[in-house]
Structure 1
């Protein structure tokens, strides 16, 4: 192997990008740190200058993913203001868009088994992403009387779970899971049914 790895301009990020490619190809448990090092063009020993092990590289992939995810949801949220409903629905659609565009990051974040509390930086990035959806849910809930108002964190958690389910079943091109409806339509109709059930939006005429 070439020894150019010792003069690599940004070894840390090169290892992250190599890991993301391997995660997409083989899953979060299907590759070794040596494979990531080879793809990055460095020796396996050079990896340990920046990471303690494979899980630490995956955790950094997840951290970067959460930062990107939060930025995307924040943009969707801001763009849809001042309508609380449109802002809430837009953050749900942003979830699907992120999963499609950044599958390696998405898998590292949600399917690798890495705890969001593995590092303070990862925990902060995850909390920021959750906070955007919780804020959107909280604003939407303000139209309900306080004694009947569901907690914003609960509403956002339900929508997050629904979005994740749509991604896993119908937006990842898994064999045998094709849906007769676009994932966006499934999510939008599901959110509508859920919000009407809570009394957060009026029923259809």
Structure 2
């Protein structure tokens, strides 16, 4: 019989987050208990409370880590598109899809768990940093629009995030009925193109 690793094995906090991420992918953010996370991490349920007060705190930490990864990916995408503001903006949209596919547990913890980004200062800071990159790209792209007609960068970026999230939920996840006749990347790119043309940020097709 395998011996439990116990509280002092490695980094318990990180082991619990990894366990939670696996359970989130399998059962969703509300489909598992702390006891299940503890069992998967190889410790007793009581040991969990040395690090987290409850399941929501554990999910919040998974979300914080997700936003840190997300922010890094967005920052990289933004920088690789320079010096073109349009290329940077489009790259950040594609990075959203890439993140959702590569880090599904983090993605769900961040966007589908119901956990507020203001639950902890650390989570709020990580979310603000990640979202701020797309806002910066939106602001740079819309500089030539007259100030009185220019949408706020936060609204501009929120529209693109909503569009990206919709593509992920409807067409980039392996849910029944989610098959689309076009690749998710093409759907997102064409949607962003329509949006940007509507704002006069890119030329209309002839």
Same fold? TM cut 0.5: yes
Unaligned runs of 5+ residues in structure 2 are: none
Residue aligning to 2:154: 153
Q: For 1:65 and 1:6, how far apart are their aligned partners in 2?
A: 25
TM-score, normalized by length of structure 2?
0.97
Cα RMSD of the aligned pairs, angstroms, is: 1.0
Residue aligning to 1:133: 134
- The answer (yes or no) to whether the contact 1:80–1:90 under 8 Å persists in 2 is yes
- The answer (yes or no) to whether the contact 1:84–1:140 under 8 Å persists in 2 is yes
Structural mapping, 1:110-129, within 5 Å: 110-129=111-130
Deviation by residue 1:93-114 (Cα, 9 ceiling, x = unmatched): 0000000000000000000010
Q: How far 1:27 sits from its partner (Å)? A: 0.4
| Structure with more of its chain in helix, by fraction | 1
Residue aligning to 1:34: 35
Q: For 1:77 and 1:9, how far apart are their aligned partners in 2?
A: 36
- The answer (yes or no) to whether the contact 1:2–1:42 under 8 Å persists in 2 is no
Q: How far 1:3 sits from its partner (Å)? A: 4.1
Structural mapping, 1:16-95, within 5 Å: 16-95=17-96
- The answer (yes or no) to whether the contact 2:172–2:178 under 8 Å persists in 1 is no
Deviation by residue 1:148-180 (Cα, 9 ceiling, x = unmatched): 222111110000000000000000021112000
Unaligned runs of 5+ residues in structure 1 are: none
Residue aligning to 1:101: 102
Q: For 2:165 and 2:64, how far apart are their aligned partners in 1?
A: 18
Q: How far 1:204 sits from its partner (Å)? A: 1.6
Greater shift in the superposed pair: 144-153 or 117-126:
144-153
**Secondary structure in 2 matching 1:8:** coil
- The answer (yes or no) to whether the contact 2:164–2:188 under 8 Å persists in 1 is yes
Runs of 4 or more above 3 Å deviation: none
- The answer (yes or no) to whether the contact 1:62–1:105 under 8 Å persists in 2 is yes
Q: For 2:127 and 2:51, how far apart are their aligned partners in 1?
A: 22
Q: How far 1:121 sits from its partner (Å)? A: 0.3
What is the aligned residue count? 205
TM-score, normalized by length of structure 1?
0.98
Q: For 2:11 and 2:191, how far apart are their aligned partners in 1?
A: 44
